[in-house]
Structures are given as structure tokens and as C-alpha cells.
Amino acid sequence: MTRLLAVANQKGGVAKTTTVASLGAALADLDSSVLVVDLDPQGCLTFSLGHDPDQLQSSVHDVLLGDEEIADVLLDTSDNVTLLPATIDLAGAEALLLMRPGREYALKRALAEVAEDFDVILIDCPPSLGVLTLNGLTAADEVIVPLQCETLAHRGVGQLMRTVTEVQQITNPGLTMLGAVATLYDARTTHSRDVLSDVSDRYGLPVLDPPIPRTVRFAEASASGASVMRGRKNKGATAYRELAENLWKYWDGGGDVPTADLA
Ligand code: ADP
Ligand code: MG
């Protein structure tokens, strides 16, 4: 059975793309076949997996509009995951999709054609709650929310939770909110932890274990087009591996996903 996990937060810079790339590589290392979907017109995931969006002939944009078969657009990456890439064309997809009936289902329909080739499909949503994110949430079985542990982290979480509830009511009754992933976490101060437990209490949102620590290796990796999961060992990669194992066990055996102890 294929697991479809959307990574969403309309705030930019909270590590959605980093989470998709790192979890994707870690899950592939656990011997699962992984597809990652870039739904952001900026194409950061595409770029970070070694493909230059400006050089691509076709992308998820053409797939969503029905102009290309999804299987013809998929790319291999050095991280052993398959990529459905994005290009800047996708910025126009919002407007084009808005005029079509069933616009929230375009990604779901396309993924159905290749889903059986993959154990896990990870969807990197753009920093908005527009049609593209609605497509991501409509296609997914589950959603996780990366939260940067800073003072105003909770801003916008209420709106995101409302959007998830609306998707559950209208386009995807099976969607499960798995919880938040704490990113750019600083274990040395109590601040990160206080912010997290506040958001968690306020929205009844479990925080998955483990938190992902801030490490300079991530900035280096996204600039070089190589995954942080390769190369030298670092605490960020270790945390994503642990999170991938926790998710994999949960998908395999049921039970609960382990949550972080914020006490
Ligand atoms: P989003 O997709 O939510 O906009 P990104 O994944 O692009 O966020 O991350 C935003 C920035 O934060 C990037 O420069 C990335 O390299 C950096 N970053 C992500 N995770 C970490 C981390 N654990 N430690 C340090 N920097 C990080
Ligand atoms: Mg991103």
C-alpha cells in the first residue's frame, strides 16, 4: 500500500522542502521506493535534488493541466528517490486550474497512475494555501506541519488547521493530521521547547519525535544541490533518519507515531 504524505505550512522558510528531501532520502535508505513531488513554483526541491528547473522541458505543471503523462515527466535523482519536478510555469497553474472543474483533484488523479510503483509519496507544498496546496492535501493520506521554533511560530497555524478541516469535509475525508515537526530546533535553550508546547496546546497538535536541530550543514547542502543526508554525518541528518524510521514503523505496524516529550 502506498503512503501519501503532504508537508504543508503556508509560511516560507520553515523547512518544508528540507524535510521532504531529507525524509525522502532517509526512507529510500530504508529500502522503500520513494517519489517526491515539488509543488512549489520556485522549484527549490527540484534544484536541491540536482535538477535545474530552468532547463526542464516539462514538469508537474503540464501534468496538472493534463498536457503530459506523469510517467513521462518523472526524473531520477542521485538520492535514490524519483522526482516529479516543478518549474516556474507552475506559478501560472493556479490561475489556469481555477477555471477547471475538479481543480483540487488534478494531482490526486495524476498520482493514481504511478502510485503502485512507490511505497511512499512525499508532497512538498508551496508557501500558500491556494489551489496547489489544496491539490497536495486532497491527494494525501496524511499531513505533517514543519514548525520553526520561534516566537511567532503559531501565526498562521490556525488558518492552516482550518484549511485541513475544510479539505477533510469537502475533498478528502480520509486526510489525517499526523502532527507538527519541530524544525530549526535549539535544544540548548528552553525557548524552542516553550514555543512548541504552546503551539501544541493551542491547536491540539502532537509534535512528532524527534525535533530537528538547527545545523549549518543544511544551508550548505541546499546551496550545493546535494542532499544533507549524504556526506558527513551530522545531527540534522541523524534526526531525519530517526523520524523516517518512526514513520516507517507506524505505517508498517499501526499504533501511534512517537511524539516528543515537551515537559
Ligand atoms: P521552506 O520549504 O519551508 O520554505 P526550506 O526547506 O527551503 O523551507 O528551508 C529554509 C532555509 O532553512 C533553507 O536555507 C534551509 O537550508 C534552512 N534549513 C532548513 N532546515 C535547517 C536546519 N535544521 N538547520 C539549519 N538550516 C536549516
Ligand atoms: Mg520550500
The CB of 183 under 6 Å from ligand 1? The reply is yes
Under CATH, domain 3-253 is a member of which superfamily?
Answer: P-loop containing nucleotide triphosphate hydrolases (3.40.50.300)
Closest CA to 142 of 155, 123, 115: 123
User: How many Å from the N-terminal Cα to the C-terminal Cα in the chain?
Assistant: 36
Task: Determine how many CB atoms are found less than 10 A away from the CB of residue 118.
Answer: 19
* pTM more than 0.90: yes
pLDDT tens track for 50-62: 999 999 999 999 9
Residue located nearest, by CA, to atom 27 of ligand 1: 218
Q: d(Cα 95, Cα 186) in Å, to the nearest integer?
A: 40
Closest CA to 13 of 219, 180, 169: 219
Q: How confident is the model at residue 114 (pLDDT cuts 50, 70, 90)?
A: very high
DSSP conformational letter for 243: H
Looking at residues 198-213, what average pLDDT do you find?
A: 93
The CB of 243 under 6 Å from ligand 1? The reply is no
User: What's the pLDDT at 226?
Assistant: 55
176-183 and 142-148 strand pairing: parallel
Looking at residues 16-23, what average pLDDT do you find?
A: 96
Higher pLDDT: 228 or 99? It is 99
Separation of CA 189 and ligand 2 centre (Å): 26
Q: Which atom of ligand 1 is nearest to the CA of 222?
A: 16
Per-position b or e across 12-48, b if 16+ CB within 10 A of its CB: eebbbbbbbbbbbbbbbeeebebbbbbbbbbbbbbbb
Q: d(Cα 233, Cα 49) in Å, to the nearest integer?
A: 19
Helix (H) or strand (E) holding 142: strand 142-148
Q: d(Cα 68, Cα 59) in Å, to the nearest integer?
A: 8
pLDDT tens track for 26-47: 999 999 999 999 999 999 999 9
82-84 and 75-76 strand pairing: antiparallel
Closest CA to 9 of 25, 20, 21: 20
3-state secondary structure at position 250:
helix
Map grid coordinates 511505497 to a residue: 119
| Diameter over CA atoms, the chain | 51
CB 135 within 8 A of CB 64: yes
Complex ipTM value: 0.99
Give the domain ranges of the chain. 3-253
Q: How confident is the model at residue 130 (pLDDT cuts 50, 70, 90)?
A: very high
DSSP conformational letter for 106: H
Q: d(Cα 216, Cα 55) in Å, to the nearest integer?
A: 29
The CB of 11 under 6 Å from ligand 1? The reply is no
Q: How confident is the model at residue 127 (pLDDT cuts 50, 70, 90)?
A: very high
User: What's the pLDDT at 256?
Assistant: 86
Q: What average pLDDT does the chain have?
A: 92
For residue 20 the three cell numbers come to: 521532504
User: What's the pLDDT at 102?
Assistant: 93
Looking at residues 160-176, what average pLDDT do you find?
A: 97
Residue located nearest, by CA, to atom 22 of ligand 1: 214
